[in-house]
Amino acid sequence: MKQIYKAIQVTRPGLLEMVERELPEPGPGEVLIKVEACGICGADAGAIEGLEKGIEYPRVPGHEVVGTLYKTYDPLPAWLNPGQRVGVGRLGGHCNACEQCRQGRFNLCQNQPVTGSSRDGGYAEYMLARTTGLVAIPEDLSSVEAAPLLCAGIATFNALKKSRAQAGDTVVIQGMGGLGHLAVQYARKMGFRVVAVGRGDDIAEEIIALGAHHYVNTHSQDAVETIKALGGAEVILSTITDSPAVSVLLPALVPQGQLMIVGVGKEPLTLMPGLMIGRELAVRGAITGTALETEKALKFSLLTDVRAMIETRPLAQAQEAFEKMRSGQAKFRMVLTTLIN
């Protein structure tokens, strides 16, 4: 007898619909996960709206996936147990064979699937995943809490860790959305002086409550001059996709300051050579993290009580939840759950 499960698929760009599919069997190096929660990320628009090249439809989006191990092909590695809760992020599991993997740079493996883009993701009751991409979820972290940390959390946590900032330094977080509100919390817990840069005063109190020492409203303040008046920034972590707005902030960096980029803009950054050379500034990108690095981010989140602010929706309301995220009205992260149908 065939087993059937429900999934939300993109049949063609712009169309999300609930479908029933036959339960797949895991192949070599794969597991089948019974999904409990899946966060909705701005990057999901690549598949849902047809903004990414090369996506084959139909496609199930979603790359902030938490669930339980349901079926395996190979014997599980020693650190995993049947029925254990695991997560899968944007990077769907390294190949263990390429040059980057040989050097231990698993997040830079070019032969791994992109969850929800090059292979089906977590807007579903079940999902196949590579074993190398699995993240162990701590017992004290609920599936709904863990889901956004598998992308928005690890992206900002790792970027701050890889930056030049040291405890006591001034760190600017640009963009107060799903990534930014987590970055503020991580930066505060890491011992930085946190300056949050956003648009409008409607979220100012919430951002201060999350840990920012200062909030800069770009609608009413000159962000560069305000940051300079505070002594300048050793690091700016930009979570936004507005490249011109990112470029404008560069003069707020102190000499040998660093701009960290996690927001994927579609326009080039504008970097003035005189400013870059005269202050010896640096610009660096950061791409999420390995499964092990993600586990460290989850443990840090538990230890320091860092959590995303979340709204949940049942799987059947994926379209509504995605549209709310896309409109910018979500505060601050939408999570789909299969526990409510």
Give tens-digit pLDDT for 207-262. 999 999 999 999 999 999 999 999 999 999 999 999 999 999 999 999 999 999 99
Q: Are 319 and 306 contained in the same domain?
A: yes
Structure tokens at 178: 């799903």
Distance, CA of 326 to CA of 323 (rounded, Å):
5
The answer to whether residue 32 scores a pLDDT higher than 90 is yes
Of 172, 155, 123, 140, give the one whose Cα is nearest residue 5. Answer: 123
Distance, CA of 63 to CA of 303 (rounded, Å):
24
Distance, CA of 65 to CA of 70 (rounded, Å):
14
Q: Are 124 and 248 contained in the same domain?
A: no
Give the predicted TM-score (pTM) of the model: 0.96
Q: How far is CA 98 from the centre of its chain?
A: 24
pLDDT at 147: 98
Q: Are 34 and 77 contained in the same domain?
A: yes
Share of the chain above pLDDT 90, in %: 95
Peptide linkage before 58 cis (omega within 30 of 0): yes
Q: What is the mean pLDDT of residues 104-122?
A: 96
Give tens-digit pLDDT for 158-179. 999 999 999 999 999 999 999 9
Q: Are 326 and 215 contained in the same domain?
A: no
Of 102, 163, 90, give the one whose Cα is nearest residue 129. Answer: 90
Q: Are 20 and 84 contained in the same domain?
A: yes
Three-class SS state of 160:
helix
Of 158, 107, 164, give the one whose Cα is nearest residue 282. Answer: 164
Residue range of the domain that includes 262: 153-285
The answer to whether residue 326 scores a pLDDT higher than 80 is yes
Q: Are 311 and 270 contained in the same domain?
A: no
CB 227 within 8 A of CB 163: no
Q: Are 134 and 168 contained in the same domain?
A: no
DSSP 122-152: SSBSEEEEEGGG-EEPPTTS-HHHHGGGGTH
CB 159 within 8 A of CB 237: yes
Give tens-digit pLDDT for 275-302. 999 999 999 999 999 999 999 999 999 9
pLDDT at 341: 39
pLDDT-based confidence at 1, cuts 50/70/90? very low
Structure tokens at 208: 């201060």
Of 109, 159, 153, give the one whose Cα is nearest residue 262. Answer: 159
Q: Are 35 and 96 contained in the same domain?
A: yes
pLDDT-based confidence at 328, cuts 50/70/90? confident
pLDDT at 281: 98
Q: Are 23 and 142 contained in the same domain?
A: yes
Q: Are 206 and 312 contained in the same domain?
A: no
- Helical pair 291-304 and 178-189, crossing angle rounded to 10 deg: 70
Say which CATH number the domain at 121 has: 3.90.180.10
pLDDT at 2: 65
CB 174 within 8 A of CB 237: yes
Say which CATH number the domain at 188 has: 3.40.50.720
pLDDT at 340: 44
Q: Are 10 and 66 contained in the same domain?
A: yes
Q: What is the mean pLDDT of residues 27-39?
A: 98
Distance, CA of 181 to CA of 274 (rounded, Å):
33
pLDDT-based confidence at 331, cuts 50/70/90? confident
Of 151, 159, 165, 162, give the one whose Cα is nearest residue 194. Answer: 165
* Count of structural domains within the chain: 2
Q: Are 29 and 132 contained in the same domain?
A: yes
